[in-house]
């Protein structure tokens, strides 16, 4: 039940970001605790095994590129293929696939949080007086083994230029499949309810046993 609670939270977050550009969904990998061998406490004879449940082993992010959607906005950018945009945050360099950028009051390209978008050499990018930036001005960085940071950003160490190509006036779609995510949420909820029903049955059985023992002792 605890594992399904974690999975429900992860699926809910994915579903909430089904329309977030460049969002990458998570997958919760479960691992069994193993089986417990039951034995007769008097004779030691083996009775059988009981499964001791599962736990969340790790949460893995699916970083596969998604399709691009044309927006026609001059400061929207999407990467076709591998790679990430780089932004300079207060805690260092972060990476993102979300290319929904804008211009600050200094005519510099920034993300929705106001972080500077960087070129391939790590320099800020200037927005022209016409409010445009050529796609070639944006850096595309190869960042293996990224880790989610929040705000649709990732942390990691860049190993140089990636092979992806920047497209102006386009945004990458979210990697979330709403229908599949809803299906997974229903399956997870049913698994949670099955565990809940099992606990209620065990609790009822223990109450009945306690009542029976009390009646025998009273008689």
- Which pLDDT belongs to residue 137? 97
pLDDT mean over 12-27: 95
pLDDT for 219 beyond 60: no
pTM for the model: 0.78
Domain that includes residue 30, residue range = 2-18+26-61+176-218
Q: What percent of the chain has pLDDT over 90?
A: 66
User: 48 and 130 in one domain?
Assistant: no
Residue 93 sits in the same domain as residue 160: yes
Residues 118 and 186 in one domain: no
Same domain, 45 and 14: yes
pLDDT confidence of residue 214: 57
- Taking residues 140-158, report their average pLDDT: 95
Residues 126 and 53 occupy one common structural domain: no
Q: Is the per-residue pLDDT at 32 higher than 90?
A: no
Cα four-point dihedral sign 42, 46, 47, 53 = positive
Residue 171: the pLDDT is 98
How confident is the prediction for the chain on average, in pLDDT? Answer: 88
Judge if 72 and 132 occupy the same domain: yes
114 in the same domain as 189: no
User: DSSP assignment, residue 53?
Assistant: -
Give the confidence band of 2 by pLDDT, cuts at 50, 70, 90: confident
Asked if residue 180 and residue 150 are part of one domain, the reply reads: no
Give the chain's length. 219
Is the pLDDT confidence value at 206 over 70? Answer: yes
On the question of pLDDT at 173 being above 70, the answer is yes
Beta strands 170-172; 165-168: pairing state: unpaired
pLDDT at 59 over 60: yes
The β-bridge partners of 124 are 118
CB contact at 8 A, 160 and 5: no
Query: 78 and 154 share a domain?
Result: yes
Average of per-residue pLDDT across 174-202: 89
Is residue 90 within a helix (H) or strand (E), and if so which, with residue range? none
Q: What is the DSSP letter of 113?
A: T
Mean pLDDT across 176-200? 89
Report yes or no: 54 and 32 within 8 Å, Cβ to Cβ.
yes
Mean pLDDT of 159-185: 96
Say what the pLDDT of residue 64 is. 95
Answer yes or no: do 57 and 73 share one domain. Answer: no
Mean per-residue pLDDT, 95-108 = 98
Domain tally, the chain: 2
Q: Which two tokens stand for residue 95?
A: 């990476």
pLDDT higher than threshold 90 for residue 66 = yes
Examine the domain organization and report whether 140 and 211 are in the same domain.
no
What does the pLDDT read at residue 79?
Answer: 98
CA pair distance 47, 82, nearest whole angstrom: 55
Regarding whether 74 and 56 lie in a shared domain, the answer is: no
Cα dihedral sign for 89, 149, 119, 108?
negative
User: Can you tell me which residue has the tokens 């092979």?
Assistant: 163
The CA distances from residue 137 to 63, 93, 108, in Å, are: 24, 17, 12
Which pLDDT value is given to residue 200?
Answer: 83
State the pLDDT at residue 13.
94
């Amino acid at each position: 039940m605890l594992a399904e609670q974690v999975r429900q939270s992860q699926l809910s977050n994915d579903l909430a970001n089904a329309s977030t550009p460049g969002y990458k969904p998570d997958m919760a990998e479960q691992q069994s605790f193993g089986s417990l061998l039951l034995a007769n406490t008097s004779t030691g004879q083996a009775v059988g095994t009981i499964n001791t449940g599962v736990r969340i082993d790790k949460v893995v992010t699916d970083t596969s590129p998604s399709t691009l959607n044309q927006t026609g906005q001059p400061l929207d950018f999407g990467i076709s293929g591998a790679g990430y945009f780089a932004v300079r945050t207060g805690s260092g360099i972060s990476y993102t696939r979300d290319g929904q950028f804008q211009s600050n009051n200094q005519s510099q390209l920034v993300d929705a949080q106001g972080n500077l978008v960087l070129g391939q050499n790590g320099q800020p990018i200037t927005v022209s007086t016409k409010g445009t930036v050529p796609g070639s001005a944006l850096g595309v960085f190869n960042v293996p083994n990224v880790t989610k940071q929040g705000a649709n950003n990732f942390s990691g160490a860049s190993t140089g230029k990636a092979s992806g190509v920047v497209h102006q006036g386009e945004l990458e779609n979210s990697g979330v499949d709403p229908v599949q995510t809803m299906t997974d949420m229903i399956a997870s909820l049913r698994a949670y309810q099955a565990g809940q029903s099992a606990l209620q049955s065990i609790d009822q059985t223990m109450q009945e046993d306690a009542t029976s023992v009390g009646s025998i002792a009273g008689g």
